[in-house]
C-alpha cells in the first residue's frame, strides 16, 4: 500500500496520521494516542459510513422522503447504493424508523425513513 | 386570545422551549411561519445530531421528530403558516398581531414571550463579491432546501465559497446527486467548519479544499459561467497576479450565519455586538423582563444539542416568570483573553449556570479560567481549542456579593 495521510477525528487534536506498510504490518506515525491507530486502521482497511439521502414519494405535498442506511455501509459502495436507492419510490406515508428496503442489495443493512410524512402538528383555528 | 407563554419558531429551540414551559405548568402557544414544525432540521438530512443529548448520531428530521412528538404529547396549540406582523409590550406582557391563512390577522396577548427565531445565512452582498447578478448563486442552505425538500439540483458544476459546515455538507450532497464540485475555497488558513465534516464530506469524495483563497469575481450574465479565485495575503486581500478562472455554473456561499431578531426591534432590548443576538442571563431572559431568547437567535451554535438546552432553559424560565415575575440577572460576564464571545452575558446569583464560549483563534494547550474579584471560580484545561467548536462549562451558584465574572483563556507556556 502506498502511504496514506489521514486526519483523526476522535478528538479535537485532529492528528495527521500517516499509514504505511501492508496487511498485518501496518505502520502508523503522527498519532498522539492509541485512538489514532484504531481510527486509521479502520479507515485504511474498511472505512464505513452511514449514507443519508432522499427518495421520491408518490405524494405531491411531500415529494421527497429523507432516508438513511440502518447502520454503516462500506464507503466504497456509496455510489452503487445511491444508484439502487434512486430507483425506489415510496407509495405509503411513513414515519422515522419505518423500513423501506429490508436489505439494500450489495449490503447487509436496511434502508429506513428518517422523517414523518404523516400530518404535521395541525393548525388550530383561533377565534 | 390570551396565553401564558408564546413561543415564536418551531425549530429545535422553540420546540424545546414550548415543551419545557408546558411541563412547568404554563399555557403555551407555539407559532411557526412554515407549514411543518422542525425548522431547519427538516432539510438537514445528514446525521450527527443528538450526540450529546441522546448519545446517538441522528439525522435532522429524526432529531426534530422526537421533539415534535414531545410537544404533541403535551397537547400544545401549534399555529403553522403563521407570521408575526406586529409586536409590542403591554401592561401585563406582550401583545402580538399574527396572521395565517386560516384565521387571517388576529391579536394574541401573552405574559411571557420566547423568541426562537433562529439565524439567517450571510449573503453574497455581505461578502462583497463583484460582478453581474447571473442565476446560479445560492447560499448553501438554499441549495440544501432545493435538493433535499424539493428535489431540484441547483447546478452541474459547483464552486463553494467558504468552508462552513453547511457548505461542506452540501459539497458531499451535490456529489452524491451527480454534480461536480470543483472545490471549496476558504479565505482563512483553516476550515471554518468542524474537522469531522472536512474529513467525511470533502476528503471522502476527493473534493479539494483551497485555503487562503477566495472568490474575487463572478462571471456570466444570464447564468454563472465561472468565478475568478485568488490567493490572499495575511491581510486577507487578494494577491495581485494570483487570479485564475474556474469554470462553473453555480456558486454556493457558506460564509457564516447571523442571528435573526428583526421582529424584536420594537422592544429596544440590549444586544451583544459579538454574538449578534440579545444579551441574556442563564435563564435566557433578555434585558426586557418576560422576553426570552434561545437557540441560534441568541448566538450561532455548532451543535443542536446546545440549541435544545437553551430552549429548555428559556421555556422553564418563561413558565416561572408567569408565576413569579422577575428581571434579568445583574452579574456581568466579561469575556476576556482569547475569547470570541461568552453566553450568557449576565448571571443570576445563587443559581448554577452553563456558560458557552468560543475562542477567537486555534490555540493548543490552554486553560480556561473563570474568576470573580481575583478569586478563581473555575478552571479547565484544553489540549486544543478552535473557534468552530463551541465549548461549555458549568459555574456553581454565585454568592450575592459577586458583581462580575471574568472568563478568559490562558495559554500554557
Contact A124 B198 (CB under 8 A): no
Helix (H) or strand (E) holding A48: strand A48-49
**What pLDDT score does A118 carry?**
85
Task: Determine which of A121, A124, A125, A127 to mutate to test the interface with B (most B C-beta atoms within 10 Å).
Answer: A121
Q: Would you put residue B69 in left (φ > 0), alpha (ψ -120 to 50) or beta?
A: alpha
pLDDT band at B408 (very low <50, low <70, confident <90, very high): very high
**What pLDDT score does B151 carry?**
94
Which of A11, A13, A75 has the CB atom closest to B204's CB atom?
A75
Of B212, B210, B195, B125, the C-alpha closest to B159 is: B210
Q: What is the C-alpha to C-alpha distance for residues B311 and B4, in angstroms, rounded to an integer?
A: 16
**Chain B residue with Cα closest to A125:** B103
Q: What is the pLDDT of residues B131-140, one digit of tens each?
A: 678 999 999 9
Supply the mean pLDDT for chain A: 89
Contact A56 B151 (CB under 8 A): yes
C-alpha cell of residue B43: 432539510
Contact with chain B for residue A29, Cβ under 8 A: no
Q: Please report residues of B whose CB lies closer than 8 A to that of A78.
A: 176
Contact A126 B176 (CB under 8 A): no
User: Running DSSP on this structure, what letter comes out for residue B396?
Assistant: P
Q: Check: CB of residue A101 under 8 Å from CB of residue A88.
A: yes
Q: Please report residues of A whose CB lies closer than 8 A to that of B389.
A: 12
pLDDT band at A123 (very low <50, low <70, confident <90, very high): very low
Which of B65, B81, B383 has the CB atom closest to A12's CB atom?
B383
Q: What is the pLDDT of residues A5-39, one digit of tens each?
A: 899 988 878 888 999 988 788 999 999 999 999 99
Matching residue, cell 463583484: B130
Question: Residue B302: is its pLDDT beyond 50?
Answer: yes
Question: Residue B242: is its pLDDT beyond 90?
Answer: yes
Q: What is the ipTM of this complex?
A: 0.91
SS3 B309: helix
pLDDT band at A122 (very low <50, low <70, confident <90, very high): very low
Question: Residue A124: is its pLDDT beyond 50?
Answer: no
- Mean pLDDT throughout B126-153? 88
C-alpha cell of residue B26: 404554563
pTM: 0.94
Q: What is the pLDDT of residues B107-126, one digit of tens each?
A: 999 999 999 999 999 886 66
Contact B204 A49 (CB under 8 A): yes
Q: Can you name the residues that pair with B53 across neighbouring β-strands?
A: none
Amino acid at each position: 500500500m502506498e502511504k496514506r495521510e489521514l486526519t483523526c477525528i476522535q478528538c479535537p487534536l485532529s492528528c495527521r496520521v500517516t499509514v504505511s506498510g501492508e496487511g498485518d504490518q501496518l505502520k502508523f506515525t503522527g498519532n498522539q494516542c492509541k485512538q489514532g491507530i484504531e481510527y486509521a486502521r479502520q479507515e485504511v482497511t474498511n472505512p464505513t459510513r452511514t449514507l443519508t439521502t432522499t427518495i421520491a414519494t408518490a405524494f405531491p405535498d411531500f415529494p421527497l422522503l429523507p432516508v438513511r442506511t440502518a447502520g454503516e455501509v462500506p464507503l466504497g459502495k456509496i455510489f452503487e447504493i445511491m444508484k439502487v436507492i434512486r430507483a425506489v419510490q415510496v407509495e405509503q406515508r411513513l414515519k422515522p424508523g419505518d423500513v423501506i428496503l429490508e436489505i439494500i442489495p450489495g449490503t447487509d443493512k436496511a434502508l429506513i425513513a428518517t422523517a414523518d410524512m404523516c400530518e404535521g402538528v395541525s393548525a388550530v383555528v383561533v377565534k | 386570545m390570551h396565553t401564558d407563554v408564546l413561543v415564536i419558531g418551531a425549530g429545535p429551540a422553540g420546540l424545546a422551549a414550548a415543551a419545557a414551559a408546558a411541563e412547568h405548568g404554563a399555557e403555551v402557544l407555539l407559532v411557526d411561519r412554515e407549514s411543518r414544525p422542525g425548522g431547519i432540521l427538516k432539510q438537514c438530512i445528514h446525521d450527527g445530531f443528538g450526540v450529546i443529548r441522546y448519545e446517538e448520531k441522528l439525522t435532522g428530521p429524526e432529531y426534530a421528530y422526537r421533539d415534535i412528538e414531545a410537544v404533541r404529547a403535551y397537547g400544545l396549540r401549534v399555529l403553522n403558516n403563521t407570521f408575526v406582523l406586529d409586536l409590542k409590550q403591554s401592561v401585563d406582557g406582550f401583545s402580538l398581531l399574527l396572521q395565517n391563512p386560516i384565521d387571517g390577522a388576529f391579536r394574541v396577548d401573552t405574559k411571557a414571550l420566547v423568541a426562537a427565531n433562529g439565524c439567517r445565512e450571510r449573503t453574497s452582498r455581505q461578502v462583497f463579491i463583484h460582478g453581474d447578478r447571473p442565476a446560479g448563486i445560492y447560499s448553501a442552505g438554499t441549495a440544501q432546501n432545493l435538493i433535499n425538500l424539493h428535489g431540484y439540483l441547483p447546478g452541474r458544476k459547483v464552486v463553494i465559497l467558504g468552508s462552513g459546515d453547511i457548505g461542506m455538507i452540501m459539497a458531499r450532497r451535490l456529489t452524491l446527486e451527480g454534480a461536480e464540485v470543483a472545490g471549496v475555497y476558504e479565505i482563512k488558513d483553516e476550515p471554518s467548519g468542524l474537522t469531522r465534516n472536512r474529513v467525511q464530506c470533502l476528503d471522502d469524495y476527493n473534493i479539494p479544499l483551497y485555503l487562503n483563497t477566495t472568490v474575487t469575481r463572478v462571471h456570466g450574465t444570464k447564468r454563472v459561467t465561472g468565478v475568478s479565485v485568488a490567493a490572499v495575503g495575511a491581510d486577507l486581500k487578494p494577491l495581485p497576479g494570483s487570479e485564475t478562472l474556474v469554470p462553473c455554473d453555480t456558486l454556493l456561499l457558506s460564509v457564516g450565519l447571523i442571528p435573526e431578531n428583526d421582529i424584536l426591534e420594537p422592544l429596544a432590548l440590549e444586544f451583544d455586538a459579538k454574538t449578534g443576538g440579545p444579551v441574556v442571563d442563564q435563564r435566557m431572559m433578555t434585558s426586557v423582563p418576560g422576553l426570552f431568547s434561545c437557540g441560534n437567535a441568541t448566538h450561532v451554535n455548532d451543535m443542536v444539542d446546545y440549541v435544545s438546552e437553551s430552549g429548555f432553559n428559556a421555556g422553564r424560565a418563561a413558565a416561572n416568570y408567569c408565576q413569579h415575575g422577575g428581571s434579568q440577572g445583574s452579574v456581568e460576564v466579561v469575556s476576556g483573553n482569547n475569547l470570541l464571545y461568552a453566553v450568557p452575558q449576565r448571571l443570576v446569583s445563587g443559581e448554577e449556570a452553563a456558560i458557552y464560549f468560543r475562542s477567537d483563534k486555534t490555540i493548543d494547550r490552554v486553560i480556561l479560567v473563570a474568576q470573580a474579584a481575583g478569586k478563581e471560580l473555575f478552571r479547565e484545561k484544553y489540549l486544543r481549542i478552535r473557534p468552530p467548536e463551541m465549548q461549555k462549562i458549568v459555574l456553581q451558584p454565585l454568592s450575592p456579593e459577586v458583581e462580575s465574572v471574568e472568563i478568559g483563556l490562558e495559554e500554557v507556556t
